[in-house]
Amino acid sequence: MGMRWCSPILGVWLLLLTGSIVEAQQAAPPASNIVARGEYLARAGDCIACHTAPEGRTFAGGRAMPTPFGTLYSSNITPDRETGIGKWTAEDFYKSMHYGRFPDGGLMYPAMPFASYTKVTRADTDAIFAYLKSIPPVNQRNREHDLRFPYDNRQLILGWRTLFFSEGEFKPDPTKSAEWNRGAYLVEGLGHCGMCHSPINALGGTSQSDAFKGGLIPMQNWYAPSLTSNREAGLGDWSIKDITNLLQTGVSARGVVYGPMAEVVHNSLQYLNDDDTRAMAVYLKGIAEASSPPPASSALPSTESSLLISLGKTVYDKNCASCHGAQGEGKPPHWPPLANNQSIEMQSAVNPIRMVLNGGYPPGTKGNPMPYGMPPFAGLLSDNEVAAVVSYVRTAWGNRGTPVSAREANELRSAPLN
C-alpha cells in the first residue's frame, strides 16, 4: 500500500481574539529573475520544512518522518552531483513534482506531496528547480527508509496511486475570479494544505469528496480542523483582512495559530506577497460552508461530567483566569478569549488538551516579532485536573463543546511533541 504522511508543520489551532496587527508588506520577485521567483515559490511550497533536518544543512534532507507504516527520511535536494539532485535535468524535476517519479522512473512515496504538486505549472516547477540549482551543494547521502513489511515494497504504491492520485496541472474555474483561482492554485497545489486538513484513511489516502474537511494528523497528535466548516476553521464569516493577517503574521483580530500551523506561517506563509495572501484568503473564505453547531453530546456519564466541570472551574480560576478572564473574555491581543471560541468547541478536543499540557507560542513574524505564549501545565496539573479545566472551558460561557475524560488527557500527556 502507498502511504501518506503529513509534514509536522501542518495542522492548525485557531483562537478567537481581538486586536490590530501590522500587516507584512511583501514584494513579488521580478518575473525575469527565475531564481528569485523559484525561491519565492519554494517558500510557498514550504520545501524547507521536510527537506531540512533539525540542526541539519538546508535542503540536505535526512529529516525523520514517522508514519503509521514506519519512518521515512527526506531526501537531499541540494545540487550535489553525488548525493543530491545535481545530475537532474529540469525534466527530471518536473517528473518528480508532476508524476511522483524519480528520474529512472521509480515511484516516490506520497510523503512527497506530488498529489498536490501535480497541479503546479511547468513554468513554476522550472523556477523552483533553477533556485535549487543555485544553492550551495551539500554532500550528504540519503538515509534508507525504515518501513515495516510489506510497506517497504515500492510497487505497492501503484495501488495507492490508482486510488488516490489524479495527475494534472491546475485547471482554472472559468466561473470564478482570477483572484479566487490564484488562491485555489496556491492552497490546492504548492501549499498542499489538504494533506493535513483532510481526513486520512487507513491506506494513507483521502477521497476528493472529503477534501479540506479536517482530521487528526497521523503520528502528530494534532487535529487539523476543517477548512469548510465554520464550526471548526471555516473562514466564511471572517473578513479578508482578518484572514490575510492570520496567514502573514500568525495572529489577527479573529485568531491565532499555535502548534504545527505556527511553523507553516513562520517558514512559509509570512513570505508570500500581499496579492497571493489575499488570493488565498478569497479562496479559503469561498470554500467555507455555513453550518450550525450540532447539539452537544458526550460519552461521559452526566454525573462524571458535572464533577469534572465543577473541578474545572476551580482549576481555571486558579491558573487561567488571570490571563483569559473570569468569564473567558481574555485580554486581546496577547491573551485570547475562550468564550465563543470555535477552536475550543470543535468535536475533537485534542488541541486544547495539548495546549494545556504543553503550552505553545504563535510564530515570530515580521508582523508579530515578539509573540506572547502560553506556559505548559503538564507538570502542575494531574490528568483529572487537565480534563476538568478543558471540559470547563469547552462548556462554560455558552460554549458548545463537550467534556473530556482523564484518559484522553493521559494519552496526550505521553504523546510526542511534534
Record the pTM.
0.84
Specify which of 66-75, 102-111, 130-139, 162-171 reaches the highest per-range mean pLDDT: 130-139
Mean pLDDT check: name the lowest of 116-120, 230-234, 265-269, 298-302. 298-302
Say yes or no to pLDDT of 227 above 90.
no
Residue 300: the pLDDT is 56
% pLDDT > 90, the chain: 57
Please report, for the chain, the start and end positions of each structural domain, with discontinuous segments joined by +: 18-292, 302-413
Residue 96: the pLDDT is 97
235 confidence band (pLDDT: 50, 70, 90):
confident
- Please spell the DSSP secondary structure of 130-188, one letter per residue: HHHHHSPP---PPPPPEE-TTTT-GGGHHHHHHHH---------TTS-HHHHHHHHIII
The residue with greater pLDDT, 298 or 338, is 338
Say yes or no to pLDDT of 247 above 60.
yes
Say yes or no to pLDDT of 291 above 70.
no
Give the CATH number of domain 302-413; options: 1.10.540.10, 2.170.150.20, 2.102.10.10, 1.10.760.10.
1.10.760.10
Mean pLDDT of 36-60: 95
Residue 294: the pLDDT is 54
34 confidence band (pLDDT: 50, 70, 90):
very high
The residue with greater pLDDT, 23 or 357, is 357
Mean pLDDT check: name the lowest of 216-220, 236-240, 399-403. 216-220
Contact 363, 266 (CB under 8 A): yes
| Cβ contacts of 199 within 8 Å, gap of 6 or more | 206, 210, 213, 214, 215
| Cβ contacts of 198 within 8 Å, gap of 6 or more | 206, 210, 211, 212, 213, 214, 215
